Amino acid sequence: MASNDKQSDTTHFGFQQVPAAEKAARVGQVFRSVAGKYDLMNDLMSMGLHRLWKRQAINIANIRRGQRILDLASGTGDLARLMARKVGPQGKVILSDINEAMLNRGRARLVDDGVVGNVDFVIANAEYLPFPDNYFDRVTIAFGLRNVTRKEVALAEMRRVIKPGGCVIVLEFSQLYLKPLQPLYDLYSFQVLPRMGQLVADDADSYRYLAESIRMHPDQEGLKGLMEEAGLEDCEYFNLSGGVVAVHRGYKY
């Protein structure tokens, strides 16, 4: 989270402290670098579990036909593809990402899968959403919030654009609660993952950043608190895979 001290307005980029104004550009470079191998690396890194995690997040979102949904940090469109089928032709899913390379890849994947007609694409910063108040039934963000510079601002924006009765769904890496597995998890995160990134994507540094960004992200209770501070209500979370990831849900009334 960015400091409120204007003389030291810094934030974390992985384990580094960088000027807050630079973080978005640095994150953008990471995802431009990995875009071409992003889906393959997701499968390898999670041993395919990310697909189950995303389906569970969609189940928790309780999506219905005809709804209007904003998918932030949509990337290559995994959530959006599934949600577009759930909302049907009368609904709409808007895929939004700050990174044009990732969004273009998502558009191409959806076209290849025949998902057209009820999807749109918008390049946008989650901290400054170009949508009116009370516009969406759901806002989702999967594995993207930890890369946002001012998470509290982005969460407040998500609340602003959902309708009363709507909810925000955040799927994100979290805090492993099976503590005996922590050393093995750390070994995988900081040794295996960067080497895998080097071998498959020719980019160890980006995957080292991804591992570090997970450790710097708030844990389950911390993120729940941020959502409540943003004005979301009935906030709760659902741990998956021992807390490696968690799905957070908060409502607007």
Binding residue ranges for S-adenosyl-L-methionine: 76, 97, 125-126
Instruction: Look at the chain and count its residues.
Output: 253
Q: Residue ranges for the binding site? A: 76, 97, 125-126
How far apart are the C-alpha atoms of 148 and 166, rounded to whole Å?
Answer: 22
Interatomic CA distance for residues 253 and 249, integer angstroms: 13
Q: Pull the structure tokens for residue 62.
A: 């309780």
Number of other residues whose CB lies within 10 A of the CB of residue 157: 21
- Distances in whole angstroms, Cα of residue 53 to Cα of each of 20, 48, 78, 145, 158: 30, 9, 11, 16, 21
Q: What is the DSSP letter of 72?
A: E
Helix (H) or strand (E) holding 227: helix 220-229
